[in-house]
Structure 1
C-alpha cells in the first residue's frame, strides 16, 4: 500500500467515525425524545424546551445540538411513537399463535404509547407527502391490517370493523380529558379498552350504525 492510499484509507475511517454518532450522543438523543413525549402527554405541545432538557438531564445546548427547533423535536417524537407502535404490531404478529390474542396484546401495548396525545401533532409536524411519515405510516397500516385480517380469517373478529375503526378508538381512549392529566387516565384506559375489544369479537351481537372508518377518510380530516 502506498502512502497516498494509506492516507485516503485513514481519512475515510475518520470520516466514518465522525459520521457515526457516539453512544453517549445517542443516549442523550433518546433521553430528550422520551422526556419530550412524556411532557407532551402531560402538558401539551407548548411545553418549554428548557423543561424538556431539564427532565432529560441534559443542557439546553445539548438539546439544540440534536434538535435545532421545536418543530424538529416534535416531528421526531411523532415518528418515534409511530415507529414503536409499528414494532409492537410486528412483534404481536411474530409471537402470537392465537390471532385475536395478538390483536389484544398489540392494542393494550399501543395505548401505553399515548397515541391520543401524539396524533394531533401529525398535521403540524409534517406535510402529507413527507417521505419519513409515509414510510412509517405505511408500515403501521400494513401491520395493523395484517393482524386484523388474521383474526378475521380465524373467525374471531367481526366483519364490519376496519383498521381505521381500531386506530380511531385507540386514539380516543388515550386522548387527554379536558382539565386532566393524561397520566391519571391509567386507572381506566385498559379497562375501557378491554370492553372495546370484547365488542370486536365475532360473532357480532349487533349491527354497527354509520359507515366504517377508512384510513383515507382519516387522512382527509
Structure 2
C-alpha cells in the first residue's frame, strides 16, 4: 500500500454503507423535514456507531444519498435503455424524486455553493446526451438547453415550498410538472 492511500473497505463495511444509504433514501421520502439518524440506523440494521463511523453527520449522509441517486441516473442515461422516446419519463421521474425526497433537497440547499454546483453539473451532464437524442428525434423542443432543466427543478422546488402540508405540495408539484413538461416537449409526444 502506498503511503497515504486508504485501504479498501471490508465487504461487511461496504454492505453496511450501502444499507445505510438505502435506508436513508427511504427515510428521506418521509413527510418530515428532519432526517432521524437513529431511524436510518434501525432500518439499515446497523448500530448508530456504525452509521456515524461511515457518516459523521447529516450533510455527509445526504451527500452520499445524492451521489447514489446521481450514479443511478448517470448509469441509466448512458445505457441503451435510455431511448429518446423515454426522455419525458426520465425527466418526470427525476422531478418526482425531487418532490418525494423533500428533506434531502432541503438539506442539500444548505450545502456550500461549491458542493451544490458540483451536483448540478453532474445532473446536467447526465441529462445532456439523452436531451440531445430526444431533440434530434423530435420529442423535445430544439431551443431547450441543458441549463434550462435547472429552471424546471427550481420551479418545482418553489411549488413544493409554497404548500403547507406534504400532500398539498405533492399535488401542486404534480400539476407543475405536467405544465412544465408540456412546455418542454413537442406537441406530438
TM-score by length of 1: 0.62
Deviation of residue 63 (structure 1)?
A: 0.7
The equivalent residue for 2:50 is: 62
The equivalent residue for 2:109 is: 123
> Is the counterpart of residue 200 in structure 1 residue 184 in structure 2?
yes
Aligned with residue 107 of structure 1, among 91, 94, 97: 91
**Structure 1 residues 23 and 45 mapped into 2: Cα distance closer, same or farther (>3 Å)?**
farther
Unaligned runs of at least 5 residues, structure 2? none
The equivalent residue for 2:7 is: 19
Off by >6 Å, runs of 4+ in structure 1: none
Deviation of residue 202 (structure 1)?
A: 2.4
State the superposition RMSD in angstroms. 3.7
The equivalent residue for 2:19 is: 31
Deviation of residue 153 (structure 1)?
A: 2.4
Name the CA distance, whole Å, in 2 between partners of 1:85 and 1:20. 25
Deviations 1:49-107 (A, max 9, x none): 1121112111111111111222222222223223322333223xx334x52x1313422
**Structure 1 residues 181 and 66 mapped into 2: Cα distance closer, same or farther (>3 Å)?**
farther
**Structure 1 residues 170 and 71 mapped into 2: Cα distance closer, same or farther (>3 Å)?**
closer
For the Cα contact (< 8 Å) 2:31–2:166, is it kept in 1? no
Deviations 1:126-150 (A, max 9, x none): x2224x962x543321231222222
TM-score by length of 2: 0.71
Show the 5 A alignment for 1:34-183.
34-91=22-79, 94-96=80-82, 98-99=83-84, 101-111=85-95, 114-116=97-99, 117=102, 118-125=104-111, 127-130=112-115, 134=118, 136-169=119-152, 172=156, 175=160, 178-180=164-166
Unaligned runs of at least 5 residues, structure 1? 1-11, 205-221
